[in-house]
Structure 1
């Protein structure tokens, strides 16, 4: 998603993405090179930079962040429930 954010913001640098997200540049590097996932508020801001549905992005981030099968399943259920709403919005 970081690459998509860079593209959607006109090919800006990771440094600029960090500024737009209100983060330090080393946090972007952590997201790129480690298993660290953004917090929910950062995921929402990142979704907005990418012109994506923030709720869907938060659900995906939490699926990736889940540490137990139960947590993962809960977020997968939420994501499935969000999908029909997205289709309805696109049809309108």
Structure 2
């Protein structure tokens, strides 16, 4: 049984938020979107696609398209540990 969910953002995403490049509300939207697909794949990727963002699973199957502009691809990885889910948001080069 899942008791808690934690969201962790890496320094690259934090820097984008602090610089105003990536609004925190957009990050929240991505976390919520990723969580809806977390039962299908523990790895959810958001791909910058000009004026939209493509949401894919770990096999690059397109799951959704968002009206959202992001500065570069962003990954979310879900891990279950001791009744908690940890959602880590990171940039590909931070993996």
Q: Which has the higher strand share?
A: 2
Pairwise TM-score range, normalised by the shorter structure: under 0.3
> Which structure has more RCO (C-alpha within 8 Å, separation ≥ 6)?
2
Q: TM-score with structure 1 length normalisation?
A: 0.26
Q: TM-score with structure 2 length normalisation?
A: 0.26
